[in-house]
Structure 1
């Protein structure tokens, strides 16, 4: 599968941190935390789970923590998006960061070196209500599919590597 081979190529021999963006307070926006919870159970290094979501209120603080505490080689951001009707259920991979909250007109910083977006519903009108009324089945299927694609592409970190790798003094500039 092309998705798997591209993702594997982008992350080979890299310490990957998954930044799974969203909240469990809106069905359409819980895609990131669902994927994050799945990945964490599988042994991946994750920020953003159902238990501890990565969302608009804590994003700036967590981005600082990611860079200073986790010290990943690459950050893979995962988030839900809105699009056209025929794109619902589609997953896209991009060799660039994503802009969380764009569908609901929030001004947030970009996240990640690469990104995965799952289209959960149609955009263009009353986006907040659309996210609230998105079918849970659609989000759960996307979360399962994204988790499986990552599992096929990127090996989970060894248990002793799951702890944060502090930045040494000579790495700071």
Structure 2
């Protein structure tokens, strides 16, 4: 089972907490719901939207961000995308990439994408949240917080003793399916925006 969750800080927003669970037969309907929410998020900013996909292709679980970045670039979305399998954004270059984004775009609206760890029963959950996120937090490699909104997907369970091992032992199939879902959500939201 996969699930999608949307959370906003502002109680006056559309929905303060919207949990969506789906089996394969309802996947498209749930992707439609969350892409509609994302479309609204994107439509309420006049700033240049930049997609920042964080992660490393050297760890299966952490490859979600670069995989999504690559898929978005292959779909030729009309937004700048940072972080792909070819040029990943990770712990060693994140600060430089954030600086480059701010030097290239005036007050950009950064939408972050990252993998995360969670409860075993929540693997496959995708959530969108308002505000910045802190890459590397689960593996105690705290990096600068970044983003105005972010999307995360729980790729594996959080082993408190060895979180890095949890990321490294993540099934590639799980990451691939989640990357496809995230790519579809973003692509659909952008297509719907263009058709307004």
- 1:166 equivalent in structure 2: none
1:11 to 29, 42, 64: 42
Q: Distance in 2 between matches of 1:72 and 1:39?
A: 22
Q: 1:62–1:73: structure 2 CA closer, same or farther, 3 Å change rule?
A: closer
- Alignment partner, residue 61 of structure 2: 28
Partner of 2:168: 132
> What TM-score comes out, normalization by structure 1 length?
0.86
2:101 corresponding residue in structure 1: 66
Off by >3 Å, runs of 4+ in structure 1: 70-73
Cα displacement (A) at 1:27: 0.2
2:82 is the alignment partner of 1:47: yes
CA distance in 1, matches of 2:106, 2:74: 21
Change in CA separation of 1:88 and 1:98 when aligned onto 2, cut-off 3 Å: same
Task: Tell me: higher relative CO, structure 1 or 2? Use CA pairs within 8 A at least 6 residues apart.
Answer: 1
2:84 matches 1:84:
no
CA RMSD in angstroms comes to: 1.9
Unaligned runs of 5+ in 1: 159-173
TM-score, structure 2 length as denominator?
A: 0.76
CA positional deviation for 1:72:
6.1
Q: Which runs of 5+ in 2 are unaligned?
A: 1-31
Deviations 1:32-88 (A, max 9, x none): 000000111122310100000000000001100011113464110000000001110
Stretch deviating more after TM superposition (118-127 or 13-22): 13-22
The number of residues matched between the two structures is 158
Structure 1 or 2: more strand by fraction:
2
CA distance in 1: counterparts of 2:42 and 2:174, whole angstroms: 27
